[in-house]
Structure 1
Amino acid sequence: MQISDLPYPDPGVPDARSGPRFLWWLGRGQLGGQARSLAWGLVHFCGVAGLPYTVGVGVEAVVDRDGGGLLLAGALLLLFGAAISAGDAMLHRTAVTNWITAAARVQQLLARKTAELGSALTRRVAAGEVTTVSTGDVEKIGWFVEAVSRFLAAAFAVVAICVGLLIYAPAIGVVVAAGVPVLALSVLPLLPRATRRADLQREKAGRATELASDTVAGLRVLRGIGGEELFLGRYREASQEVREAAVRSARMWALISAIQVLLPGALLITVVWYGAVLVRDGRLAVGELVAAFSAVATMLYPLRHFEEIAQAYSFSRPSAARAARVLSLTRTEEGAEGSTAVPAAAPAPGGDLYDPGTGLLAPGGRFTAVVCGDPDLAGRLAERLGGHPVDGAGAAAPVLLGGVALDELPLDAARGLVLVQDKDPVLLSGTLRELFDVPASGAVTAAAALDAARCGDVLDALLQSAPEGVEDPMDARITERGRSLSGGQRQRLALARSLVTDPEVLVLDEPTSAVDSHTEARIAQGIARLRAGRTTVVLASSPLLLDRADRVVLVHEGKAVAAGTHRELMRGEPRYRAVVTRETEEEQRSAASGAALPDVPDVPGVPAGELTGIEESA
């Protein structure tokens, strides 16, 4: 494959059982590119290997005053020079192509895995690790893949030089042939230690980067409590640990490089000394000595690739292991690679959504609200309802939609049926029109979704900040992650985007936590109106949303323990009332003794029934 053909139509199914297996899989996937690189490498290095022989022929021709031999040496020099130049240029081209295509394949695999797992990925692997794999690790993996062909060509050139000297000048060729394996294998005992030091350096660098990211993310809070100097001191310590680890790693690689210079130099001195003795004794011609000297000097170039392949593998092995770890993740424990299960057929429209793990039932076509006392439990439940078990929940029974397990459906089908909006939805930069350019049924327009989410003031704010000439708020641009908007404005835009998709089942986790009560009441009304006849599940504890729901379910300690309308549960379920109104134990005892709940005042424009429980929580 050429660079112009990227991206791959299908990057394939990787062998993610281990780092080395993953590297081997990548190499097998590029056999054509590796073969081309190896062929041009052989042309280049064979030209390099032929230079010592050419020098020997030329010297012998001068000594013997042989004009024909001198012409032959000149012709060989031109031939080998052309081979070196053309081979080097094409070797570089094909090697870089291999590097880029390998890196692109890994990035495509990671992007596909990220899309498959969604937000569950960062609950199973740290977000920083995913970022490291998709940037720095990808480069190291590509480096090793492209270095393999150059190393094989260099190894062939070294063997060819040794064999050529054994044939051309056997007396001195034996010394060279015996010394080269020592040069090639001399650094092997040091590689494990160098690898460990490099791994330690990367580990400490990763910790320092994570600490820096956390500090920057919480800088405003840290300044508020005067803690920036404390965290700055921690980062200084982590940075110094990284520096020390880098120095120790560099020392080991410097030692390896020094050995790669010292031993070839020792071999060169040995060849010259021994060759001079042979020439003096008449057992070796001057041209043969010059050829042997040139061969050893020339051999230093291909021998550098032995050190490079060792470094490339040492750095790429942990990178490949991290990539394999991410790529081995599956949607469910049963969905591992190699599974022969046949995907289930899509359920009939209007089916009930049922979670066997908690006993939660959301009837099809109705608005169901779920109250959880634990916000983390609510987030995990939202993920489960989307068919993505997290935090080791893969062993639990799968969520059913219309009697069909969601995790047995093809990924595209499952995501087309159920949409989950979590607590912190992300708004990508671009125009508002681009934000709403998402897969949708077409039954809900962007205008209707924006009206239901009460985004009128958001449209006005975007239009006011838009450049001159922009008259339609849909053409106004949203900055990265919607930073120019308030938290409530971002939340409402994300809700409108979810509404416009019009999925079979919509799961919303605290969709109005950042808006005021008046706006929240109208949003609740808009959701109920726009989602009429469609299955909607809202995880919230706001009475304004709960009173609009057709059915409310209380999940306590991981189990659905009560169900009914908001008012029924307020009257008859103390645990529900404690969560919704934030009652203290004393207030719960008073309610149990028959004390009347306080009257709820009217709010202009909002029916009084929507505010049930507001006063109790005040």
Structure 2
Amino acid sequence: MQIRELPYADPGVPDVRSGTRFLLWLGRNQLGGQVKAMLWGLLLQLGIAGLPLGVGFAVQAVVDGSGGRLALAGGLIALLGVVIAVGDAMLHRVAVTNWITAAARVQQLLSRKTAELGSVLTRRVAAGEVVAVSTGDVEKIGWFVEALSRFAAAALTLVLVCVGLVVYQPALGAVVAAGVPVLALAVLPLLPRATKRADEQREKAGRATELASDTVAGLRVLRGIGGEELFLGRYRAASQEVRRAAVRSARMWALIAAVQVVLPGLLLLAVVAYGARLALDGRIAVGELVTVYGMVALTYQPLRHFEEIAMAYSFSKPSARRAARVLSLKRTTTTSDERAHTRATALGGDLYDPATGVLAPAGLLTAVVCGDPDAAGRLADRLGGHPAEPDEAHASVLLGAVPLDELPLGTARTAVLVQDKDPVLLSGTLRELLDVPSSGKIAAAQALDAAQCGDVLEALAQASVDTDGDPMRTRITERGRSLSGGQRQRLALARSLVTDPEVLVLDEPTSAVDSHTESRIAAGVARLRQGRTTVVLASSPLLLDRADRVVLVHEGQAVAVGTHRELLRTEPRYRSVVTRETDEELADLKALDDEIVDELDDELELAEAEGESA
């Protein structure tokens, strides 16, 4: 896989049973790149390890006074220099490719999962954790994938060096062969503690990221209630915890690095001392001693890869565990694709949620009133085939006779479109914003008119860089930050209306607009969606009065159905939600009603008595 071929046509189905299994799955998918990097790394390491051999030949040639062998040694050193240059350049190229392609695969998987779950994702996983996984964790996972091949090349190089030294100079080679495994494994007892401290650091960093993300998301509310300093203090405390954990982690890795420096130095001293005695005794030549010394000195570099792979694994394992946790989330428990595609041909009919008892008859505008806004959001997700909790999957929402969780994601979203209470506008022109998959029956102008976007079009026309002031060609900034909350909400509503799905679910579509605009939007939506199934979760009387039927959901169950005015007269719980009356006010109102009724009864009895006396 080359970088120019990204993104992947299909990133595959990951093994998310654990973080380690996820890393192994990534490694298997990068097998070709890993083998290439290992071979180039082996060429580089052997080229470096061969330099002492050339130097030893040169030293021995000088001692023996042989010009021919000196020239040959010089040619060997020059050749090894070329090998090192080529190996280093190609290793870096292939290793970085492995890193980027692995990171891109993980990001594609995360993007696919985000698109699959939609707003439900942040109900199951904290937004800060999603941000941490898609940024820092992806980099750490890519680092491990990239370091793995270089570690394999380094380990294989050490084995070949030890075998070569035993063959080249058995006496000193045996010392090196015995010492190198000790050097490579010496840091193992320190790794569990280092890994534990690294996990603690990342856990605290993840909590700090979540706190920062939540604080930024609610900054406007915090300013309104004067809570900025409170949350700032919390973030300062969390940040200091991260700093202290990072220092503790760094101390362990510094100790491991020190061990990797000290032990090779001790081995080098032992080789020099023993080799000098052998040279004095005439058992080895000076050139052989120089060769062995150089090879032992250069083992420091491949040994550093043992430290790096340990560090990369300890950092990437929790990252892979978090990524696997996000990727393991499922929309619902699905059946086979064959069954889903068979049922997809018969889509249509009433929308029914068995868990709450909410029924939205086909072709009607149904309003749902929930006293709890969070419950309304969860209900909207359920009606779109995305239960907020996995254990809700046993009561799948039905469209006609078809459970939505048995449909492929694309089919389900084509049939039922859910507009969240806080919809997102992507950057681009207004024409691009409204250029969405649709039935083609609703024009953009009709949708914009129904959503009462006249002032939005005027504002975009004024901001247009075109001489004709075409608002459709005006660029909207990321998330619509240049627009007010009401303008963003109305543009999102227009986008949903253009789509013209079989079923449209709107969660508080007019919460950010004034009452006059809300009244016109209610009329426009009712007119444009006539004959199509529409569900509006709201508590605004202006919207509720336009609905064909209204369902009251209380404590997770549909408890009353009727028109808005019927429920106002007959259902106190409905009246308390819609009119915002408190229990005391309802009690006072009921007492007043009873008092008026008693007075009317008294007057009626008095009138009857007077009539009898007359």
1:295-310 counterparts in 2 under 5 A? 295-310=295-310
**Would the alpha carbon gap of residues 57 and 194 (structure 1) be closer, same or farther in structure 2, given more than 3 Å must change?**
same
1:559-574 counterparts in 2 under 5 A? 559-574=557-572
Q: What runs of 5+ residues in structure 2 fail to find an aligned partner? A: 598-614
Displacement of 1:516 in angstroms is 1.8
1:424 aligned onto 2:422: yes
Question: Partners in 1 of 2:215 and 2:529 — Cα distance?
Answer: 41
Q: Secondary structure at the match of 2:355?
A: coil
One-letter amino acid of the structure 1 residue matched with residue 38 of structure 2: L
Identify the residue that residue 576 of structure 1 maps to in structure 2. Answer: 574
**Does the 8 Å CA contact 1:555/1:562 hold for their aligned counterparts?**
yes
Identical aligned residues as a percent: 75
Question: Partners in 2 of 1:196 and 1:580 — Cα distance?
Answer: 53
**Does the 8 Å CA contact 1:50/1:80 hold for their aligned counterparts?**
yes
**Does the 8 Å CA contact 2:452/2:517 hold for their aligned counterparts?**
yes
Displacement of 1:392 in angstroms is 4.2
Identify the residue that residue 22 of structure 1 maps to in structure 2. Answer: 22
Deviations 1:266-297 (A, max 9, x none): 11111111111111122222111111101111
Identify the residue that residue 440 of structure 2 maps to in structure 1. Answer: 442
Normalising by structure 1, report the TM-score.
0.92
**Would the alpha carbon gap of residues 512 and 393 (structure 1) be closer, same or farther in structure 2, given more than 3 Å must change?**
farther
Question: Partners in 1 of 2:264 and 2:134 — Cα distance?
Answer: 39
1:206 aligned onto 2:206: yes
One-letter amino acid of the structure 2 residue matched with residue 121 of structure 1: L
One-letter amino acid of the structure 2 residue matched with residue 247 of structure 1: V
Identify the residue that residue 97 of structure 2 maps to in structure 1. Answer: 97
When structure 1 is superposed on structure 2, of 392-401 and 188-197 the one drifting more is 392-401
**Does the 8 Å CA contact 1:102/1:142 hold for their aligned counterparts?**
yes
One-letter amino acid of the structure 2 residue matched with residue 376 of structure 1: D
Displacement of 1:116 in angstroms is 0.6
Identify the residue that residue 348 of structure 1 maps to in structure 2. Answer: 346
Instruction: Name the count of aligned residue pairs.
Output: 593
When structure 1 is superposed on structure 2, of 392-401 and 502-511 the one drifting more is 392-401
Question: Partners in 1 of 2:505 and 2:595 — Cα distance?
Answer: 36
Question: Partners in 1 of 2:268 and 2:325 — Cα distance?
Answer: 46
Identify the residue that residue 601 of structure 2 maps to in structure 1. Answer: none
One-letter amino acid of the structure 1 residue matched with residue 316 of structure 2: S
**Does the 8 Å CA contact 1:470/1:476 hold for their aligned counterparts?**
no
Identify the residue that residue 32 of structure 1 maps to in structure 2. Answer: 32
- The structure carrying a bigger helix percent of its residues is 2
Question: Partners in 1 of 2:541 and 2:419 — Cα distance?
Answer: 20
Identify the residue that residue 603 of structure 1 maps to in structure 2. Answer: none
When structure 1 is superposed on structure 2, of 236-245 and 113-122 the one drifting more is 236-245
Identify the residue that residue 609 of structure 1 maps to in structure 2. Answer: none
**Does the 8 Å CA contact 2:337/2:408 hold for their aligned counterparts?**
no
Identify the residue that residue 242 of structure 1 maps to in structure 2. Answer: 242
Displacement of 1:406 in angstroms is 0.3
Q: Secondary structure at the match of 1:230?
A: helix
When structure 1 is superposed on structure 2, of 207-216 and 436-445 the one drifting more is 207-216
**Would the alpha carbon gap of residues 515 and 269 (structure 1) be closer, same or farther in structure 2, given more than 3 Å must change?**
same
Question: Partners in 1 of 2:589 and 2:398 — Cα distance?
Answer: 36
1:437-516 counterparts in 2 under 5 A? 437-467=435-465, 469-516=467-514
One-letter amino acid of the structure 1 residue matched with residue 542 of structure 2: L
**Does the 8 Å CA contact 1:364/1:534 hold for their aligned counterparts?**
yes
Identify the residue that residue 167 of structure 2 maps to in structure 1. Answer: 167
**Does the 8 Å CA contact 1:350/1:534 hold for their aligned counterparts?**
no
**Would the alpha carbon gap of residues 562 and 45 (structure 1) be closer, same or farther in structure 2, given more than 3 Å must change?**
same
Displacement of 1:595 in angstroms is 6.0
1:129-168 counterparts in 2 under 5 A? 129-168=129-168
Deviations 1:162-184 (A, max 9, x none): 11110111111111111101110
**Would the alpha carbon gap of residues 514 and 219 (structure 1) be closer, same or farther in structure 2, given more than 3 Å must change?**
closer
Question: Partners in 2 of 1:349 and 1:25 — Cα distance?
Answer: 38
One-letter amino acid of the structure 2 residue matched with residue 138 of structure 1: V
Displacement of 1:53 in angstroms is 2.1
One-letter amino acid of the structure 2 residue matched with residue 425 of structure 1: P
**Does the 8 Å CA contact 1:49/1:158 hold for their aligned counterparts?**
no
**Would the alpha carbon gap of residues 9 and 557 (structure 1) be closer, same or farther in structure 2, given more than 3 Å must change?**
same
Cα root mean square deviation, aligned: 1.9
Deviations 1:511-546 (A, max 9, x none): 112222221111111111100111001111122111
**Would the alpha carbon gap of residues 592 and 352 (structure 1) be closer, same or farther in structure 2, given more than 3 Å must change?**
farther
Deviations 1:127-165 (A, max 9, x none): 111111111111111111111111111111111111111
**Does the 8 Å CA contact 1:49/1:160 hold for their aligned counterparts?**
no
Q: Secondary structure at the match of 2:418?
A: strand
Displacement of 1:324 in angstroms is 0.6
One-letter amino acid of the structure 1 residue matched with residue 538 of structure 2: A
Identify the residue that residue 608 of structure 1 maps to in structure 2. Answer: none
Identify the residue that residue 586 of structure 1 maps to in structure 2. Answer: 587
Question: Partners in 2 of 1:411 and 1:591 — Cα distance?
Answer: 54
Displacement of 1:299 in angstroms is 1.1
1:82-481 counterparts in 2 under 5 A? 82-332=82-332, 334-335=333-334, 342-344=339-341, 345-346=343-344, 348=346, 350-467=348-465, 469-481=467-479
Identify the residue that residue 515 of structure 2 maps to in structure 1. Answer: 517
Q: Secondary structure at the match of 2:505?
A: strand
**Does the 8 Å CA contact 2:126/2:210 hold for their aligned counterparts?**
no
Question: Partners in 1 of 2:568 and 2:219 — Cα distance?
Answer: 41
**Would the alpha carbon gap of residues 520 and 342 (structure 1) be closer, same or farther in structure 2, given more than 3 Å must change?**
same
When structure 1 is superposed on structure 2, of 398-407 and 283-292 the one drifting more is 283-292
**Does the 8 Å CA contact 1:347/1:403 hold for their aligned counterparts?**
no
Q: What runs of 5+ residues in structure 1 fail to find an aligned partner? A: 597-618
When structure 1 is superposed on structure 2, of 478-487 and 546-555 the one drifting more is 478-487
One-letter amino acid of the structure 1 residue matched with residue 524 of structure 2: G
**Does the 8 Å CA contact 2:128/2:214 hold for their aligned counterparts?**
no
Deviations 1:5-56 (A, max 9, x none): 1111000000111111111111111111111111211211121222222222
Normalising by structure 2, report the TM-score.
0.93
